A = this chain, B = another copy of it.
Amino acid sequence: MDSGRIRKLLEKVKSGALPVDEALHGLRALPYDDCGYAKLDVHRSIRTGFPEVVFCQGKTCEQAVEIVKRLAGHHAKVLATRVAPDVAERIAAAVAGCTYHDTPRLLVVDRPVKKAQKAARKGKYVIVLCAGTADLPVAEEAAITAESMGSRVERAYDVGVAGLHRLLDQKERIMRANVLIVVAGMEGALPSVVGGMVSCQVIAVPTSVGYGASFGGLAALLAMLNSCVAGVAVMNIDNGFGAGYFAHLVNR
């Protein structure tokens, strides 16, 4: 709670315009919506610039529907991640304006993404790269998150290091980007290679794509953390949403 608001309140108390009890109450007002099992942080968009995002994994269907419904009552735009298709259907039935993206299992409320994409065709952009086709769900989670927050997003998929010419062919689009999201599983080498080509930040996202000694994405995660290139920061395994969010903060 910032000092400006405290000063105003104190001055009202001094002038008698505000009784002590009300002032006390005002200083402790609840900036969230409590539905028992969840306290919706409706104050977050003021504090951090974007509404609370609903992480649906581990929540019951009922909880997910209720939480999205309540947030949609406070905000024009709501984002829900890791939404199973049947839960998405239930939310769409209860809340108007839903778009469900099934590859990244992402649900966006009251958000004509395509129009936004058109509007965002010009200006600074985020570019999302991914190493292989199996990394698509994570890459799309990142791309649509950034788009739904308002960023222009470009995509360059299946540009893994096994065929460098596919990557080098995208070099100009990559070098003109304002910020990069690089998604890769297996050995996770792509961020290092790309990072050496550009002067902007690289947000690296390891995926759980692979088998054997990939240990659910651990190999890619460690590789990215140990990147010999400066300017690379790393997200949790499969955290496309986080990368899209972070990239938008840089890009806006």
Instruction: Using CB atoms and an 8 Å cutoff, list the residues of chain A in contact with chain B.
Output: 1-3, 6-7, 10-11, 13-14, 16, 20, 23-24, 27-28, 30-32, 36-39, 41, 43-44, 47-50, 52-53, 55, 57-59, 63, 67, 82, 131-134, 136, 157-166, 169, 171-172, 175, 185-189, 192-193, 195-201, 203, 206, 208-239, 241-243, 245-246, 249-250
Q: Would you list 23 pairs from A and B whose C-beta atoms are within 8 A, ordered by A residue?
A: A3-B172, A13-B13, A14-B14, A28-B169, A32-B166, A39-B166, A48-B198, A48-B231, A53-B230, A131-B228, A189-B189, A200-B249, A208-B212, A212-B217, A212-B221, A212-B236, A213-B217, A213-B222, A219-B219, A222-B223, A231-B245, A234-B234, A250-B250
Nearest residue (CB) in B for A219 is: B222
Given contacts A192-B189, A212-B239, A228-B187, contact A44 B13 (CB under 8 A): no
Nearest residue (CB) in B for A136 is: B37
Contact B196 A187 (CB under 8 A): no
Contact B225 A246 (CB under 8 A): no
Copies of chain A in the complex: 8
Nearest residue (CB) in B for A190 is: B189
Residues of B within 8 A of A193 (CB): 161, 164, 189, 193
Residues of B within 8 A of A188 (CB): 187, 189, 223, 226
> Which of B166, B186, B211, B249 contacts A231, CB < 8 Å?
B249
The smallest C-beta distance from A127 to any residue of chain B, in angstroms, reads 15
Contact B211 A238 (CB under 8 A): yes
Given contacts A32-B166, A201-B249, contact A212 B238 (CB under 8 A): yes
Most chain B CB inside 10 Å of its own CB: which residue of A20, A160, A215, A227: A227
The smallest C-beta distance from A103 to any residue of chain B, in angstroms, reads 9
Contact A246 B13 (CB under 8 A): no
Contact B242 A232 (CB under 8 A): yes
Residues of B within 8 A of A63 (CB): 133
Residues of B within 8 A of A189 (CB): 161, 187-189, 192-193, 223, 228
